[in-house]
Structure 1
Amino acid sequence: MFSTFELDALKEVGNIGAGNAATALSMLLSQKVQMKIPEIKVLPFDEVSKSVGGPENLVTGIFLRVEGDLGFNILFIMQAGDTTNLLKIILHESKETLELTAMEESALKEIGNIIASAFIAALSDFTKLALRISVPSLAIDMAGAILSFPLSLYGCMGDTAFLMETEFEEGLDGVKIHFYLIPDDDKSFSTLLKTIGVRSSDGNNSRGDGGI
């Protein structure tokens, strides 16, 4: 459905966004942060829950809406262990369950907001599209319920989700995040990928290494 060139261009944007996010997180945490270059996968939307352990698996979800020249949704999903490990590192306190305090919820939303905003800034710069991002929402629930949330808000979504899997290598060592881009419809995201392809073929090949 999508060419290797288009997917490589999306990976390039993810790479730049990872570098920007690592820099922002480093400033927030006052320590070096490094992220792996994201792996890009294309999934039918009805298979997304399988990629995070099945629809009944308890996970943390952080949702953000992107609007402007194109509309789509961003959804972060973290396994329970990754969520508690992340909170231990950023708040310097023991955490064993997904019963979150207001401070813990705020910290996770801020991490999601930093990573998503870094990606959208890279995407907007790469494509010259005007894009704006919403404030994040957070939920602890079964994966199937979390994935139905954008559908309940906006009524329809495309049949395809783009998964960018990335893992922290330093600073937030070993924490893995599933980062999904879920378009409003397949046409809108096809347009986005073609726009990325046009930009990259025009010689915009700046790269980041996901680190600082």
Structure 2
Amino acid sequence: MSSSYRGLILDFGGVLTTRMRLNGQAFERSEGLTPGAYFHALDEHPDGVRIYADLEVGRATQEEWNQVIGGILGIDPTNLMQRALANLRPEPVILAAVQRAREAGVKVAMLSNSFGLEPYNPYEALGMYDAFDAVILSEVEKVRKPSPEIYRRTLEALGLTGPECVFVDDHAENLPPAQALGIRTIHHTTDPEATAAQLDALLARAAA
């Protein structure tokens, strides 16, 4: 690498994996839930919002999340996170772009607001650890996106500065704190081919 972009930082759920909404909809069908019930429990129910926020920064365990979300939905809480993520798969187009970046000498990090690590570790289950030079999880760091601190820690883990890195996330609200550190950002939507093409173009220029 001879110029600006020497690092690549990617979100996990919905970027390195298939779409979170499609996974959630499949979970609702498998559990016989009313369409939208799972998303309401996570995003709108006060107890659901609280427990997810606490899980992400290590104030609550995955087992506690299972109990609370299971209670809201009226379903068996046993291994609920594992069941809730059962339809999530690695996104091969993005992972291929990650591999191309690493082969070109780019350092690559995964930066995720945590789903918890015990009893179910989705990062291990989907084979993510070996694909990255650094794995930054909010549960471990005790701080979550979009706090600027977790971006700073990711840069430290890579040994790079903000202007040397590109960050990809599917939540627009997570991008401005990275931009404030000089990181180039890409808002991933629903088209992994388009995101991979953007990455290839940026990193090709960096390697030229």
TM-score exceeds 0.5: no
- Greater helix proportion: 2
TM-score relative to the length of structure 2? 0.33
- Greater strand proportion: 1
* Rg (Cα) greater in structure: 2
